[in-house]
């Protein structure tokens, strides 16, 4: 199997962890890297390597509080790649978390949900906890 892929969060980038042992992908934080391809291309490469094994499953959790338009394109590309893997027979669940009063994030997630047919895509609403 593949090694665990981890990118620690920075002020401009999310934490990303692909763990083959737990069959999970976690993306959380904020995403507006200065060099978008340099940041996301290794993630795509790790996913491609992960799915080179037959019968892989994946539970993907996306919990971003902010992302810019360049990141939105990369996230869409990633979900299209996951959709392609689901079309090949891999079981993939995606939980996309949105803050309850973030209409833009919710609309983006709803647009994705309409585009993907094979992914088991769920939008989860979190209440804002500004305590």
- Check residue 68 and report its DSSP letter: -
Mean pLDDT of the region 48-71:
94
CA distances from 31 to 19, 36, 71, 82 (A): 20, 9, 6, 19
Residue 33 lies in a domain: yes
* Residues composing the chain: 131
In the chain, the percentage of residues whose pLDDT exceeds 70 is 95
pLDDT above 90 as % of the chain: 82
Q: How many CA atoms lie within 13 A of 45 on its CB side?
A: 9
Tens-digit pLDDT profile for residues 35-59: 999 999 999 999 999 999 888 999 9
Output the pLDDT for position 126. Answer: 85
| CATH number of domain containing 16 | 3.30.750
Residue 32 lies inside a defined structural domain of this protein = yes
Q: What is the number of domains present in the chain?
A: 1
User: pLDDT confidence of 10, banded at 50, 70, 90?
Assistant: very high
- Examine residue 96 and state whether it is found in any structural domain, yes or no: yes
Question: Does 28 or 2 have the greater pLDDT score?
Answer: 28
Range of the domain at 61: 5-126
CA angle 29, 33, 35 (to 5 degrees): 155
Question: Tell me, what's the pLDDT at 130?
Answer: 55
pLDDT for 128: 67
- The dihedrals phi and psi of 91, each to the nearest 5 degrees, come to -85, 120
Q: Give per-residue pLDDT as tens, 88-99.
A: 999 999 999 998
| Position 131 in a domain | no
């Amino acid at each position: 199997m593949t090694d665990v892929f981890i990118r620690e969060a920075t002020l401009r980038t999310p934490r990303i962890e692909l763990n083959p042992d737990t069959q999970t992908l976690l993306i959380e934080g904020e995403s507006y890297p200065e060099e978008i391809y340099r940041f996301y291309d290794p993630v795509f490469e790790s996913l491609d390597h992960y799915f080179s094994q037959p019968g892989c499953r994946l539970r993907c959790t996306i919990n971003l509080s902010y992302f810019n338009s360049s990141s939105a394109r990369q996230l869409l590309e990633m979900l299209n790649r996951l959709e392609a893997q689901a079309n090949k027979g891999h079981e993939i669940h995606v939980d996309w978390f949105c803050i309850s009063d973030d209409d833009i994030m919710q609309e983006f997630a709803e647009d994705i949900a309409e585009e993907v047919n094979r992914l088991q895509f769920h939008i989860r609403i979190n209440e804002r906890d500004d305590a």
